[in-house]
Amino acid sequence: MIVAVDGPTASGKGTIARALAVHFGLPHLDTGLLYRAVGRQVMLDRGDPDNEADALAACQFPDALLADPELRTEVSGGLASRVSIHPRVRQALYERQRKFATQPGGAVLDGRDIGTVIAPEAEVKLFVVASVEKRAERRYAELIQAGRDVSLEAIAADLAARDERDTNRKDAPLVAAVDAITLDTSEIGRDEAVAQAIAIVERRMRS
């Protein structure tokens, strides 16, 4: 069983995907982390994330980079959004994601184009959304707790900019698959969001 969990930054898709993987005993891949690693590698290489050649070269990042805590920062998130617009970067990472999705027994993947591009045959497709305001509040709380000096206004502006890039890029834009079920987490907490997601998967398994 392949479960595709798509949605914008800070919508809760990662939390939901990890919980689904644990509940159903499936391996999980945060595909956004791959793009964050590419963005981070570009900066380590002193390249330009808006230059496709620099971004493509950074796709050869070492696996150890995936454990770098810097990948979870807002800076790396913004870089990921910038490098992900390059078609050759997306193609370079496609096979890696595709191999994970089609492994025996299935998997849970979260990202922005899992249900539309990476695994369009997924048995379950979730599209997790939340308002920019709620997403900014959540990310702000996380970063403050981590001891980072950030502003709520700056985070909201960054999320809105990422949404604009992700939904309007030519290749693999952020969009719900036609057969995806939308889960709005704006007004519900983590436990309720996870419970609803589990219920959706179980219904699909029975149908």
41 domain-assigned: yes
User: Residue 37 sits in a domain of what CATH number?
Assistant: 3.40.50.300
Using an 8 Å Cβ cutoff, are 75 and 149 in contact? no
**For the chain, what is the domain count?**
1
What does pLDDT average to over the chain?
94
pTM of the model: 0.87
State which residues form the domain around 181: 2-202
Confidence at residue 169, expressed as pLDDT on a 0 to 100 scale = 85
Confidence at residue 60, expressed as pLDDT on a 0 to 100 scale = 93
Using an 8 Å Cβ cutoff, are 92 and 153 in contact? no
What is the arithmetic mean of pLDDT over 20-48?
Answer: 96
pLDDT tens digits for 138-197? 999 988 998 888 899 999 999 999 999 889 988 888 999 999 999 999 999 999 999 999
The contacts of residue 159 (CB under 8 Å, 6+ apart) are: 8, 9, 10, 132, 135, 136, 139
The model's confidence at residue 207, banded by pLDDT at 50, 70 and 90, is confident
The model's confidence at residue 47, banded by pLDDT at 50, 70 and 90, is very high
Confidence at residue 146, expressed as pLDDT on a 0 to 100 scale = 84
207 domain-assigned: no
DSSP reduced 3-state for 119 = coil
pLDDT tens digits for 95-128? 889 999 999 999 999 999 999 999 999 999 999 9
Confidence at residue 149, expressed as pLDDT on a 0 to 100 scale = 86
Using an 8 Å Cβ cutoff, are 71 and 65 in contact? yes
Using an 8 Å Cβ cutoff, are 136 and 155 in contact? yes
102 domain-assigned: yes
CA–CA distance, 9 with 185 (Å, rounded to integer): 12
- Tokens representing residue 113 in the block: 């184009």
21 domain-assigned: yes
DSSP 121: T
Confidence at residue 115, expressed as pLDDT on a 0 to 100 scale = 97
Residue 35 has pLDDT above 90, yes or no: yes
CA–CA distance, 135 with 72 (Å, rounded to integer): 15
28 domain-assigned: yes
